[in-house]
A and B are shown apart, each in its own frame.
Chain A
Amino acid sequence: GAGVSQSPSNKVTEKGKDVELRCDPISGHTALYWYRQSLGQGLEFLIYFQGNSAPDKSGLPSDRFSAERTGGSVSTLTIQRTQQEDSAVYLCASSQNRDKFYGYTFGSGTRLTVV
């Protein structure tokens, strides 16, 4: 597609439920990143995928968070047993490769609200 697509754009869930957030990167982009942004805060790195290499999961805040990237394209971020502090905008970005940093394109994000 023309840009990075994320779905849903908004998600309200009850505390304790699991949620899945989806990211469709730009076609041909081998690198995919997940960030989250809490209200009024800067971006917090979560996880990075590059091609078929093992992902860098060092930013995931707890074992309730996991992510997959199937076929080197679409990625799903899963949050299990959601907590109120998980409420944030979750942003996905892709780039042709990690050295082409200025080709780093973000999606519009998924606003997650845990009630």
Chain B
Amino acid sequence: DAKTTQPPSMDCAEGRAANLPCNHSTISGNEYVYWYRQIHSQGPQYIIHGLKNNETNEMASLIITEDRKSSTLILPHATLRDTAVYYCIVRLLGAYGQNFVFGPGTRLSVLP
């Protein structure tokens, strides 16, 4: 599976959009981009995933570049409860375990 690169930390003002980048320059054509987040003391929570089209759900939007080498997770109106570590993962649909690697992620701090 492709590896991802994320900044270790970011700050965002409450109410503003949080844009979390992820580089995945070695992604293959059939690998999906997934985003999870982990709020302190909780297990990781699924946010969104996509293959090549931009995706939006009630939590966030996912923007994937045309060459698929990078993506951005957008939290449109960040709240203090969005403070968490955000993980960007690329994987084959149906892969699991060793093929599903969580890196250190980006620690997002939403500031009042």
Binds A, one of B21-29, B37-45, B63-71, B72-80: B37-45
**Hey, which chain B residues are within 8 Å of A31, CB to CB?**
96
Report yes or no: A101 in contact with B93, Cβ–Cβ below 8 A.
Answer: yes
Q: Would you call A11 an interface residue if the criterion is a C-beta within 8 Å of the partner chain's C-beta atoms? A: no
| 26 residue pairs from A and B, CB less than 8 Å apart | A35-B102, A40-B104, A42-B87, A42-B101, A42-B102, A42-B103, A42-B104, A45-B98, A58-B97, A59-B97, A59-B98, A91-B43, A93-B43, A101-B32, A101-B49, A101-B91, A101-B93, A102-B46, A102-B49, A104-B46, A105-B46, A106-B43, A107-B43, A108-B41, A108-B43, A109-B43
Q: Would you call A99 an interface residue if the criterion is a C-beta within 8 Å of the partner chain's C-beta atoms? A: yes
A33 to B96, CA, bound (A): 9
Report yes or no: B104 in contact with A41, Cβ–Cβ below 8 A.
Answer: yes
Number of interface residues of B (CB under 8 A): 23
A14 to B34, CA, bound (A): 38
Interface residues on A, range: 20 to 34
A47 to B97, CA, bound (A): 7
Residues facing B in A24-68 (CB within 8 A) are 31, 33, 35, 40-43, 45, 47-48, 56, 58-59
Measured CB to CB, the closest approach of chain A to B53, in angstroms, equals: 16
Secondary structure dominating the interface of B: loop
Q: Interface residues, chain B, CB within 8 Å of chain A?
A: 32, 34, 41-46, 49, 87, 91, 93-98, 100-105
- Contact partner of A4 (CB less than 8 A), chosen from B43, B93, B100, is B43
Q: Interface residues, chain A, CB within 8 Å of chain B?
A: 4, 31, 33, 35, 40-43, 45, 47-48, 56, 58-59, 91, 93, 98-99, 101-102, 104-109
